[in-house]
């Protein structure tokens, strides 16, 4: 049977392709720069191939699962359902480009073995989160993610970095502790259940209503820290001290995204969106998401530091996913889930752009960005595509999200959500358009703060390739949304399973 062999190899293979790479890289000598780069790209490439094989297998109706003894009575379980495939594909594709970018970005900086080791562990944790098939496994990878990102956040080792790192751990470990409590409690109530479309709590709905509501609050509080839901978002702007590839990873691929994915998991595959609605816990979640959207956008307006502005933008944008999950109805679900991918593509492009400005010109602040478009046209073009996408200009990816969320909210009778979305789009425009205006239309200064020359291109080719590819993906996800090879098409499949007969 091909299936048995395939599933026994592919799932652990996806995890090990980055885990083993990371472990080997830890023990490489600092100056083995070429070998390390090849290992990195090899691991990332292998992971891509394996994920492609996984996708192909699932298209052919193959089921993938793997369990192993872990805690007494509770197995360590991996599996690939439609939701996990969405997330695992996103993180694998983006990881490949982020690795390439990081190699270019960190050239000649110290401690690269340590950095790339933890970088690989971080993506292992992310794919593990995607492929977890029960809550305990999810928790394992969720905490592994916390731990493996800390050294990345503090990579520079400055006092400021250490402060940011401490803040990061204080928030995420406290959140993790709450999540641990929720998971223990849930497993006590429901047994060692796996994730399943429409939830697994049907039998407890009547008898344990109060406990389920309490648990939902704990789940959201625990996972909400990583998803940066206001008021649990405090760590995110502080963690901006990390190098640009790490910020890109944190915001688009790993940490924040893992939080959003966790919320999606709990709402759809643990509780089931209809059960959650009957428990009356979705409305407060929707309100929290709406507050986060508006608060993040408003704070972003006042940040002069480019990365801080992007950080608050993330706070706002990730809650679109949460909002989509908190509104019942297929259209809203569609909008939320597809934003998981769209936000990742757009935000990573923005961070790549910000990193390029910092690395090539020494530009860190919005007020220093006059005329960067003339000096670095390709980077700025990619940056602009992503920014316009964030605002929701059709036909880019962000527009798809916003239109589905709007329709979904209207269908569910939640008309206030439409107002929130409109306000947010206006705010997005208000903090992104001035950047584009400065970049393209104002004339550049005589001297850039810390210019750095990288040969024939406007910057190092690795730094340039990554944002161009991800910007292309932003356009593709919007323009070809209705083709059968788009994030939207896959999300439609998930939604059909959640709401279908």
Partner 1 sequence: MTFPRTGALLILMPLAAAALAFAWPGHGRALARISAAAMTAALAALTREIMAHGVQMHRVGGWGAPLGIELRADGLGVFMLIIAALIGVAVTLYSPSYFASRQPESAPAKHNDSRQNTPSRQAAPPTAKSRDEDGQPHRTRYFWPLFLFLWTALNALFLSADIFNLYVALELLGFGAVTLVALAGGHEALTAAMRYLWVSLAASLFYLLGVALVYGRCATVDLPSLASKAQPGPALWVALALMTGGLAAKAALFPMHFWLPPAHANAPAPVSALLSALVVKGPVYILLRLWFEAFHGLITPAATHALGALGAAAILWGSVRALVQPRLKLLVAYSTVAQLGYVFLLFPLAASPESGLAAWSGGLMFLGAHACAKTAIFLTAGNILHAAGHDRIRDLDGITHALPISAFAFGLAGLSLVGLPPSSGFAGKWMLLSASLAQGQWWWIAVILAGSLLAAAYVLRVLTHAFTRVPNPLTPKPVPPVMEWTALALAVAAVGLGFAAHGAAELLQVGAPNAVASRDNNGPPAKPASAQPQPQTPPEIRRLDSCPESTLPGAARPPHEPSPPDRTAHPGAAQRTPGPKGGHELSEAGVQPRRAAICLARQARRRSAGGWSA
Mark residues 23-62: x for contact with partner 1 by CB under 8 A, - for none. ---x------------------------------------
- Asked if 321 contacts 263 with a C-beta cutoff of 8 angstroms, the reply is yes
Site residues (CB under 8 A) for partner 1, limited to 400-459:
none
Q: Which stretch binds partner 1 (CB under 8 A): 195-203, 248-256, 296-304, 442-450?
A: 195-203
Residue placing its CB nearer to partner 1 in the complex, 174 or 465: 174
Q: Which is nearer to partner 1, 224 or 389 (CB)?
A: 224
Closer residue to partner 1 in complex, CB, 161/348: 161
Our finding on whether 74 is near partner 1 (CB under 8 A) is: yes
70 binds partner 1 (CB under 8 A): yes
Paired tokens of 160: 């400021």
465 binds partner 1 (CB under 8 A): no
* Binder of partner 1 out of 24, 28, 180, 489 (CB under 8 A): 180
Residue from the set 21, 40, 91, 134 that interacts with partner 1 by CB under 8 A: 134
Binding partner 1 by CB under 8 A: which of 151, 272, 330, 355?
151
Regarding 154 and contact with partner 1 (CB under 8 A), the answer is: yes
Size of the site for partner 1 (CB under 8 A): 56
Identify the helix (H) or strand (E) that includes residue 211.
Answer: helix 209-227
CA distance 238 to 349: 20
Answer yes or no whether residue 291 interacts with partner 1 by CB under 8 A: no
How many whole angstroms separate alpha carbon 33 and alpha carbon 48? Answer: 23
Going along 263-349, which residue ranges are E strands? none
How many CA within 13 A on the CB side of residue 127? 30
At CB < 8 A and 24+ separation, what contacts does 483-486 make? none
Pick the closest to residue 286 from 316, 332, 312, 323 (CA basis): 323
Is residue 139 near partner 1 by the rule CB under 8 A? yes
DSSP 355-402: HHIIIII---BGGG-TTHHHHSHHHHHHHHHHHHHHHT-TTSHHHHHH
In the complex, what is the shortest distance from the CB of residue 39 to partner 1, in angstroms, rounded to a whole number? 18
**Residue of 67, 213, 298, 407 that binds partner 1 (CB under 8 A):** 67
> What CA–CA distance (Å, rounded) separates 209 from 66?
32
**202 or 304, CB closer to partner 1?**
202
Can you name the residues that pair with 221 across neighbouring β-strands?
none
- Residue 118: CB minimum distance to partner 1, A: 10
As measured in angstroms, the least distance from the Cβ of 24 to partner 1 is 14
Q: Which residues contact 162 (CB under 8 A, 6 or more apart)?
A: 154
- 499 is a contact residue toward partner 1 (CB under 8 A): no
By CB under 8 A, name the one of 11, 81, 249, 385 that touches partner 1: 81
If the CB atoms of residues 79 and 478 are measured against partner 1, the closer one turns out to be 79
| Placement of tokens 């880019």 in the chain | 396
For 186-198, give the DSSP string.
HHHHH-SPBP-TT
332 binds partner 1 (CB under 8 A): no
Name the one range near partner 1 by CB under 8 A: 156-164, 234-242, 249-257, 315-323: 156-164
Measured CA to CA, the distance from residue 323 to residue 293 in angstroms comes to 9
**Element spanning 74, H or E:** strand 74-79
What lies within 8 Å, CB to CB, of 361 at 6+ separation is 372, 375, 376, 448, 449, 450, 451, 452
Out of 107, 185, 298, 499, the residue judged to bind partner 1 by CB under 8 A: 185
Please state the closest distance from residue 175 (CB atom) to partner 1, in A: 11
By the rule CB under 8 A, 468 interacts with partner 1: no
Site for partner 1 in 90-119 (CB under 8 A): 111, 114
- C-beta of residue 171 within 8 angstroms of C-beta of residue 235: yes
Decide: 323 and 336 in contact? Cβ < 8 Å. Answer: yes
Q: Which of 3, 191, 231, 449 binds partner 1 (CB under 8 A)?
A: 191
> Would you say 138 or 432 has its CB closer to partner 1?
138
CA distance linking residue 326 with residue 320, whole number of Å: 10
Question: Smallest Cα–Cα separation from 274: which of 26, 117, 500?
Answer: 500
**What whole-number distance in Å separates Cα of residue 194 and Cα of residue 73?**
13
Examine residue 374 and tell whether it contacts partner 1 (CB under 8 A).
no
Nearer to partner 1 among residue 130 and residue 348 (C-beta): 130
- For residues 464-486, one letter each, b for 16 or more C-beta atoms within 10 angstroms of the residue's C-beta and e for the rest, the string is bbbbbbbbebbbbbbeebeeeeb
* Range in contact with partner 1 (rule: CB under 8 A) among 63-71, 273-281, 334-342, 470-478: 63-71
In the structure encoding, which two tokens stand for residue 15, read together?
């995890």
By the rule CB under 8 A, 336 interacts with partner 1 = no
Q: Which of 16, 20, 28, 193 binds partner 1 (CB under 8 A)?
A: 193
In angstroms, rounded to a whole number, what is the distance separating the alpha carbons of residues 108 and 482? 44
Q: Any contact of residue 71 with partner 1 (CB under 8 A)?
A: yes
Asked if 144 touches partner 1 (CB under 8 A), the answer is yes
| Cα Rg of the chain, angstroms | 21
Interface residue with partner 1 among 107, 143, 274, 305 (CB under 8 A) is 143
**Distances, alpha carbon 61 to alpha carbons 18, 55, 80, 82, 364, in Å:** 26, 10, 12, 11, 49
Residues near partner 1 (CB under 8 A): 26, 63, 65, 67-77, 79-81, 111, 114, 133-134, 136, 139-140, 143-144, 146-147, 151, 154, 156-159, 162, 165-166, 169, 173-174, 176-177, 180-181, 184-185, 187-188, 191-197, 200
């Amino acid at each position: 049977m091909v299936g048995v062999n395939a599933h026994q190899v592919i799932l652990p293979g996806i995890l090990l392709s980055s885990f083993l790479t990371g472990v080997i890289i830890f023990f490489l000598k600092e100056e083995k720069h070429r070998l390390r780069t090849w290992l990195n790209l090899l691991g990332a490439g292998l992971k891509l191939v394996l994920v492609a094989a996984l996708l192909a297998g699932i298209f052919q109706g193959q089921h993938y699962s793997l369990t192993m003894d872990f805690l007494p009575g509770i197995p360590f379980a991996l599996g690939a359902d439609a939701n996990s495939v969405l997330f695992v594909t996103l993180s694998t594709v983006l990881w490949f480009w982020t690795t390439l970018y990081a190699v270019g970005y960190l050239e000649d900086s110290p401690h690269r073995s340590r950095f790339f080791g933890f970088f690989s562990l971080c993506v292992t944790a992310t794919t593990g989160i995607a492929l977890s098939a029960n809550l305990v496994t999810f928790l394992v990878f969720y905490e592994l993610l916390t731990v493996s990102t800390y050294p990345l956040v503090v990579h520079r080792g400055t006092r400021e970095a250490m402060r940011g790192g401490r803040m990061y751990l204080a928030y995420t470990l406290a959140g993790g502790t709450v999540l641990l409590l929720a998971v223990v409690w849930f497993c006590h109530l429901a047994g060692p259940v796996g994730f399943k479309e429409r939830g697994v709590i049907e039998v407890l709905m009547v008898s344990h209503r109060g406990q389920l509501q309490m648990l939902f609050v704990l789940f959201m509080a625990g996972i909400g820290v990583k998803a940066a839901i206001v008021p649990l978002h405090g760590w995110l702007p502080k963690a901006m001290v990390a190098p640009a590839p790490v910020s890109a990873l944190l915001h688009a691929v790993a940490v924040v995204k893992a939080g959003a994915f966790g919320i999606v998991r709990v709402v759809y595959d643990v509780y089931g969106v209809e059960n959650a609605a009957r428990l009356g816990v979705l409305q407060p979640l929707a309100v929290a998401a709406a507050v986060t959207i508006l608060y993040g956008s408003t704070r972003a307006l006042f940040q002069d530091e480019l990365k801080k502005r992007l950080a608050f933008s993330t706070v706002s944008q990730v809650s679109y996913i949460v909002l989509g999950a908190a509104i019942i109805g297929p259209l809203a679900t569609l909008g939320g889930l597809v934003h998981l991918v769209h936000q990742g593509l757009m935000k990573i492009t923005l961070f790549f752009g910000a990193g390029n400005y910092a690395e090539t010109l020494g530009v860190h602040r919005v007020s220093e960005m006059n005329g960067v478009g003339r000096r670095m046209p390709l980077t700025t073009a990619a940056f602009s595509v992503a920014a316009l996408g964030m605002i929701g200009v059709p036909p880019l990816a962000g527009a798809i999200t916003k239109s589905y969320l709007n329709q979904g909210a209207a269908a569910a009778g939640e008309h206030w959500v439409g107002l929130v979305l409109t306000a947010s789009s206006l705010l997005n425009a208000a903090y992104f358009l001035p950047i584009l205006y400065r970049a393209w239309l104002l004339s550049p200064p005589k001297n850039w703060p810390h210019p750095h020359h990288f040969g024939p291109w406007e910057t190092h080719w690795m730094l340039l390739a990554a944002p161009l590819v991800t910007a292309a993906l932003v356009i593709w996800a919007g323009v070809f949304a209705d083709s059968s090879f788009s994030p939207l098409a896959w999300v439609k499949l998930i939604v059909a399973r959640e709401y279908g007969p």
